[in-house]
Amino acid sequence: MTPNGLVLFLFILSGLSGQIISINDSLKIGCPQNLKFKTKQLIIPAILFTYGIAAIESDYLKLVNTELRNELKESIDEKVTIDDFAQYAPAVSVYAINNLGIKGKNNLRDRTLILGTSYLLMGTSVYVLKNLSKIERPDGSSKNSFPSGHTATAFAGAEFLWQEYKDVNIWYGITGYAVATGTGFFRIYNGRHWLSDVFMGAGIGILTTKIAYWIVPYLDHHIFKLNKSVSSTMIAPFYNGNQMGVGMILNLK
């Protein structure tokens, strides 16, 4: 398979970042605080995307994937399922820290809009790329390895935690990225993904959260014009027999 289809899709995704409309100080109080667009913010996602796409065709990078997988396979005694939970930890931490009285950049309603937008963009991107690439997983269980959805979720949450709390304490964000990196490692360790899958997932997670911070304030103020506030919220894990995750219930007034 040639990576042309993937390049086209990622061009469209990245192109969203070029359609940012600056939000000035005249925005009403209560609008989400946005992340000012700067070209350098695209550098890390671009590097991760480049590696992930190049590994589809590059014999050398395919060899790197295989060698890393073989080295880890020799040391695996049993699979570790912590990555199924760790992927949600950075995002959930934002709400947990706020509940402790440590305020972040945005209020409950606004940050939830941002996280929801990020997850929507991230989930759509992962789904489309998995169906375009059809790359077999290291354990041979299916052909939807590229990119890593767990890693994308973890890094979307890590960037969310970073943006909300970097001005309060930089270590919150660093810890979030450490957890996200660990999630990616265990996806490789458990034979569910190649290194390139993890790189691509990380890039998608970071970029989609940045895009959410760029566009949500504009959409909120100029299109939706919502004045609702969240009066209560509940976060709880769920398990439907096949999948595990974290659900959120909001009471708007």
- Residues 150-169 have pLDDT tens digits of 999 999 999 999 999 999 99
AA letter at 142: S
Examine the pLDDT at 7 and tell me if it is beyond 60.
Answer: no
pLDDT value, residue 80: 78
- The span from the CA of 47 to the CA of 50, in Å, is 5
The pLDDT assigned to 18 comes to 43
pLDDT at 189 (0 to 100) = 92
Note the pLDDT of residue 46: 95
For residue 138, is pLDDT > 90? yes
CA distance 121 to 105: 21
Residues with Cβ within 8 Å of 103's Cβ and at least 6 positions away in sequence, in order, are 168
Neighbouring-strand partners of residue 234? 249
197 and 48 Cβ atoms separated by less than 8 Å: no
Cα 95 to chain centroid distance, Å, stands at: 17
At 81 the pLDDT is 85
Angle, CA 191 vertex, CA 186 and CA 196 arms, to 5°: 75
Q: To the nearest whole number, what is the mean pLDDT of the chain?
A: 81
| Mean pLDDT to the nearest integer, 22-30 | 38
DSSP 198-244: HHHHHHHHHHHHHHHHHHHHHHIIIII-----EEEEEEEEEE-SS-E
Alpha-carbon gap, residue 247 to 237, rounded angstroms: 6
Amino acid at position 173, single letter: G
Does the global pTM surpass 0.85? no
> Does position 29 have pLDDT exceeding 50, yes or no?
no
The phi and psi torsions of 77 (rounded to 5 degrees) equal -90, -45
pLDDT in tens, 96-135: 999 999 999 999 989 999 999 999 999 999 999 999 999 9
On whether the CB atoms of residues 217 and 34 are closer than 8 A, the answer is: yes
Look up residue 155 and give its two tokens.
């890094």
Q: For 53-97, what is each residue's pLDDT tens digit? A: 999 999 999 999 999 999 888 876 677 789 999 999 999 999 999
Helix (H, G, I), strand (E, B) or coil at 79: coil
Q: Name residue, tokens 């590696």.
A: 51
Largest CA distance in the chain: 59
Structural domain boundaries of the chain? 4-228
**How large a percentage of the chain has pLDDT more than 90?**
63
pLDDT at 236: 47
Average pLDDT in the 45-59 region?
A: 95
Is residue 38 very low, low, confident or very high in pLDDT (cuts 50, 70, 90)? confident
Q: Confirm if 65 and 194 have CB atoms less than 8 A apart.
A: yes
State the Cα–Cα distance between residues 220 and 140, nearest whole angstrom: 44
